[in-house]
Amino acid sequence: MKKTSELRALTVEELRHEEKDLRKELFNLRFQKTTGEIENPLRIRHVRKNIARILTIVSEKTKAKS
């Protein structure tokens, strides 16, 4: 998990790539939850919050460019 300050240092393209990776992880975690194989169910919450954090930073950066 990256800190917010680390995420702010990334470019928009890098943030989108990070979001894509997190969405894949979230899909896999949900699949594990359904099959009962998940080791840490709280990881789903952390991944969702990280996705929201990234989307917020991307939004801020695109508004700053305008």
pLDDT tens sequence across 2-58 = 888 999 999 999 999 999 999 999 999 999 999 999 999 999 999 999 999 999 999
Tokens of 7: 């995420």
Question: Please, which residues have CB within 8 angstroms of residue 47's CB and are 6 or more apart in sequence?
Answer: 22, 25, 26, 29
Burial class (CB within 10 angstroms; exposed 0-12, middle 13-18, buried 19+) of 24: exposed
Spans of all domains in the chain: 4-65
pTM (two decimals): 0.91
Domain 4-65: state its class: mainly alpha
The answer to whether 26 and 41 are in contact (CB under 8 A) is no
Other CB atoms within 10 A of residue 47 CB: 21
